[in-house]
Chains A and B, each alone.
Chain A
Amino acid sequence: MKYAITEQCVGCHACALVCPNNAVFADPDKPQQFMIHPRRCTGCENQYDTPQCATICPVETAIVDELMIAVNPIGSLTGIVPLHVGRAQ
């Protein structure tokens, strides 16, 4: 399974620092948008139990799998339920 980064990314660099395959880089035009190189990403298979980028990413829905399903859905990291998320924005 390969992974990708959505526009929710805040550019905190965490995923880039833990990726074992140097697959994460910042969008050259938008330093706060990170991207995953689709060829370099191995999904961390045979390296770690979980994709490392999504294991450290602090932002819900910023990392998705091939089916565009968020590895960290809303509420899963902050405990803030969707109703409140809606109100915050």
Chain B
Amino acid sequence: MEHHVDERKSACATGANQGGSVSHLLPKEIQQQIERHPCYSKQAHQYARMHLPVAPACNIQCNYCNRKYDCSNESRPGVVSHLVDPHGALKQFRAIKKRAPNLTVVGIAGPGDALANPKATFSALKLIREADPTAQLCISTNGLMLAEYASELAAHGVHHLTITINTIDPHVAAKIYPWVYYDHQRLRGLAAAERLISNQLAGLEAAAKLGMLVKVNTVLIPGINDQHIAALSDAVKARGALLHNIMPLISAAEHGTYFGMTGQRGPTEAELTNARNASGQFMAQMTHCQQCRADAVGTLGGCGSEASDDTPATADKLVRVAVATNGEPLLSTHFGHARQFEIYQFDQASGQFYLLERRQVAQYCSGASECPEEENDKQALFNTISDCQIVLSARIGISPWRTLEQMGVTPNVDFAYQAISDALQRLARQQQPSQPQESNDEVCHY
């Protein structure tokens, strides 16, 4: 959605200020391990990652999250949007891997908490690992159950772990977490805060000892945890965390979160920079995170998302193709029914399409009864793919067809019910220039 794309841009801009990479602060061996992981390294942008939404349940409540809607702070799509079971996840993985050979990283980040759904999480990890032993597996968690499952995670080959820790001060945490579910009880207030923090720190320590690369995410909430960042960074570093990713609070009132409803604002650029500097005394900072959702697929942008801004939609050279899909390997989705678009970018050097990302859309039409009349919704749908030159779908209505054409996006239904990978190959062949073209931008294909 539009909102999503905007975040990408702003995240890119903040990343760009920070220059090259965080890795000069890390030992060489670890640098090598993270350099192919797009969530850890800015240099890893040509590698794609995929998050499998297999973990719906959560065991804590954060004041920046509303379980009814998509959460923009944690990596959470709405609980109901795209849940898959572990076998469905494997299918998705296989389908994407076929079309995106650059897919190296597979993670579980929600939509709830990976470790509040241990069965689904571990069974998905096992299936993916069997299907592709080279896939790098990663997990995001709030840390409540991490100490309990750290060794099982290691045994399943999980190498990269992200824990969201917002503070190590229980009085501060009590303002962020109204309750946690632990040991069959709903704890509230300070009891909840103390339990969560001690479990997070114990889990972090256990995971680091097992050799996992641990990144800590912190949502920066001005007036609440912004004065406590150095202490937090010091404490997590001491327990073996490698990277710190401080993200700005997103708290629009319409998300219906506690912070949204109470008018809690997000940090300014200056507050964010101060916090990152405070943490930077202790730990390497990660600044290119785009707060990706639990069902995110794709590369983290970088060069590509900047370049796209100056690519005119009318360019005669095809760059991007949007594929309307609800997750099937065949091109069987009606344009108006697409819940998401997979965006593929043509790579001149290899003559192939690579998966750039998957974009969610508000549905334009879900049957006669519940067609949203809002012009905004339709506009959001079109905006989702306005930077693409071709959009593939099984079918499309005449009026969206005209709108797309006016935007310079060509609708194409020639490949209806064929495999998406075949369609992309055929399009790629049409892209091959008769003579090899000079390209000055080998560094940034996308």
B99 at the interface (CB under 8 A from A): no
**Given A12-B79, A14-B112, A50-B186, A84–B58 Cβ distance below 8 Å?**
no
Q: Are B80 and A11 in contact (CB under 8 A)?
A: yes
Q: Are B80 and A10 in contact (CB under 8 A)?
A: yes
Interface string of A67-89 (1 = CB under 8 A from B): 00000000001111000100110
A13-B78 Cα distance, complex, nearest whole Å:
13
- Chain B residues lying within 8 Å of A12, measured Cβ to Cβ, are 56-58, 67, 79, 112
**Given A10-B80, A12-B67, A14-B57, A80–B261 Cβ distance below 8 Å?**
yes
Interface string of A11-36 (1 = CB under 8 A from B): 11110011000000000000110000
Interface residues of B in 232-260 (CB under 8 A from A): 253-254, 256, 258
Interface of A is mostly: loop
A43-B253 Cα distance, complex, nearest whole Å:
37
What is the CB-to-nearest-CB distance from B261 to chain A, in angstroms, rounded to a whole number? 5
Interface residues of A in 50-76 (CB under 8 A from B): 50, 52, 55-56, 58-59
A48-B261 Cα distance, complex, nearest whole Å:
34
Q: Are A56 and B261 in contact (CB under 8 A)?
A: no
Q: Are A32 and B59 in contact (CB under 8 A)?
A: no
**Given A77-B179, A78-B178, A78-B258, A55–B59 Cβ distance below 8 Å?**
no
A31-B257 Cα distance, complex, nearest whole Å:
24
A77-B65 Cα distance, complex, nearest whole Å:
12
B134 at the interface (CB under 8 A from A): no
A84-B262 Cα distance, complex, nearest whole Å:
9
Q: Are A55 and B61 in contact (CB under 8 A)?
A: no
What is the CB-to-nearest-CB distance from A26 to chain B, in angstroms, rounded to a whole number? 10
B68 at the interface (CB under 8 A from A): yes
What is the CB-to-nearest-CB distance from B47 to chain A, in angstroms, rounded to a whole number? 31
A17-B113 Cα distance, complex, nearest whole Å:
13
A77-B59 Cα distance, complex, nearest whole Å:
13
Interface residues of B in 48-97 (CB under 8 A from A): 56-59, 61, 63, 66-68, 78-80, 83
B185 at the interface (CB under 8 A from A): yes
Q: Are B80 and A31 in contact (CB under 8 A)?
A: yes
Can you add 20 more A-B contacts, CB < 8 Å, to A11-B56, A87-B261? A10-B78, A10-B79, A11-B79, A12-B58, A12-B67, A12-B79, A12-B112, A13-B117, A14-B59, A17-B57, A31-B80, A31-B83, A32-B79, A48-B184, A50-B184, A56-B181, A58-B67, A77-B178, A79-B178, A88-B253
Residues of A within 8 A of B (CB): 10-14, 17-18, 31-32, 48-50, 52, 55-56, 58-59, 77-80, 84, 87-88
20 A-B pairs with C-beta separation under 8 A: A10-B68, A12-B112, A13-B79, A17-B57, A18-B181, A18-B184, A31-B80, A31-B83, A32-B79, A49-B184, A49-B185, A50-B185, A52-B184, A55-B185, A55-B186, A56-B59, A56-B181, A59-B67, A80-B258, A88-B256
